[in-house]
Amino acid sequence: MKNFLQNRFYLSLFLLFVIYLVGIMTVLFGKAEPLMQLTVYNLLFATALLLYNAKKPDKAYWLWFGICALAGFGIEVVGVQTGVVFGEYTYGRILGISLGGVPLIIGLNWSLLVFASAALVSHLNISLVTKAAVAATIMVAYDVFLEPVAIRFAFWDWAGGPVPMQNYIAWWVIAFLMLLGVFRYVKNMRNRTALYILGIQTLFFIIIILKKGLPLH
């Protein structure tokens, strides 16, 4: 037991699976609404696990994690205020404290997704640009399953209803640019928990989509 607790990866997987198993069972028993009130804490938990399992993060790692968070938050503020980035949308109250119409946790979520997606492809023997493109595509695929859940539980709301294609294009371009910087300046992006964090979150979204009969936008 002592060795298990001292192994970051296995301890993290245990916590991740226990928490999401409880979440999945809660959804299956029809109690998704109160569970969604804990979304901010879930994002903080997932981010903490990712950072806890980072391989010897240096100053560049922390710098770019902060840059992605600040850039993501700033772009979201512009997006909400103008509608020219992702399309016209507004955030609800469920994601906590907001500034400029954007919950503060959204910036952290950008960093979480960028660094987790980067970790999935960092070991591939392909060019930096190709890595960034593949990781950006992973992020957009993740968003495809996130959107129906986010809309259903009022994380945010799109003017006119359906998610505009502009949103997915903007997601890809912004993620691609962030990932270019990350792959260029951060030397070690490998993280064994990244696959499990993104995978189990996506599975969670799919279960909610099936349980609630939500359409993919």
For residues 100 and 80, the answer to whether their CB atoms sit within 8 Å is yes
pLDDT tens for each residue of 124-145: 999 999 999 999 999 999 999 9
Query: How does residue 8 score in pLDDT terms, banded at 50, 70 and 90?
Result: confident
Work out whether strand 156-158 and strand 89-91 pair parallel, antiparallel, or are unpaired: antiparallel
Query: How does residue 45 score in pLDDT terms, banded at 50, 70 and 90?
Result: very high
Cα-based distances in Å from 30 to 25, 26, 34, 207 = 9, 7, 10, 12
Neighbouring residues of 87: CB distance < 8 A, sequence distance ≥ 6:
158, 159, 163, 164, 166, 167
Cα-based distances in Å from 86 to 32, 43, 65, 124, 204 = 27, 22, 22, 30, 24
Rounded distance between C-alpha atoms, residue 33 and residue 18, angstroms: 19
Query: How does residue 160 score in pLDDT terms, banded at 50, 70 and 90?
Result: confident
Residue 1 has pLDDT above 90, yes or no: no
Query: How does residue 3 score in pLDDT terms, banded at 50, 70 and 90?
Result: low
Neighbouring residues of 76: CB distance < 8 A, sequence distance ≥ 6:
85, 102, 106, 107, 110
Would you list the domain boundaries of the chain?
A: 9-210
Q: What is the pLDDT of residue 6?
A: 59
Mean pLDDT of the chain: 94
Q: What is the pLDDT of residue 203?
A: 96
Nearest to 53 by CA among 1, 108, 104, 16: 16
